[in-house]
Structure 1
Amino acid sequence: MMCGAPSTVQPATAETQDIADQVRSQLEEKENKKFPVFKAVSFKSQVVAGTNYFIKVHFGDEDFVHLRVFKSLPNENKPLTLSNYQTNEAKHDELSYF
């Protein structure tokens, strides 16, 4: 992977699900609702001064959300941050930079 360029879309892993789970409460607070299902489906990553994760999450029925999560460098010892998100996404919608 080239530094700064997002990776190709990959199937979600246990690590991806863990990242999504860690920012779930941030999203629920911003959207003022609880999500009964929160399953990471796929992701891209981008190495910057840390790592951006773009994660497609299924949250019930045919509903999906795209998350952008920032993971700081290990020596900074900061929690994961939900940088941005896109609601009203569908299963077939491309996971791209936002």
Structure 2
Amino acid sequence: MSNEKKADFSGVSAKVDTTAEKVEKADFSGVTAKVDTTAEKVGSPEQTYTVQKGDTLSHISKQFYGKASKWNAIFEANRDQLDDPDRIKPGQVLKIPAEES
């Protein structure tokens, strides 16, 4: 056996101090936000589509808008070159209006 003394920690105390409880939460009640975009003011740029063999306005509408039922918007935008929505021809370049919200 050894006659060495062991360390005596009986008088040692520990205290953990954190700032987490003392920090006040940030007050954002007076903050406002505004998003300004030119998309609403200028509008979306007009697209065009060149008619392919076998195309219909419904097919083109589904391709651009995700639904065939918007074919009339394409027809109305192209009244200068279309008299009948069922008579589009390959090679025609149609204006595709921006989808209305």
TM-score, normalised with respect to structure 1: 0.22
Structure with bigger RCO (C-alpha 8 Å, 6+ apart): 2
Answer 1 or 2: which has greater strand percent. Answer: 1
Which structure's CA Rg is the greater one?
A: 2
TM-score, normalised with respect to structure 2: 0.22
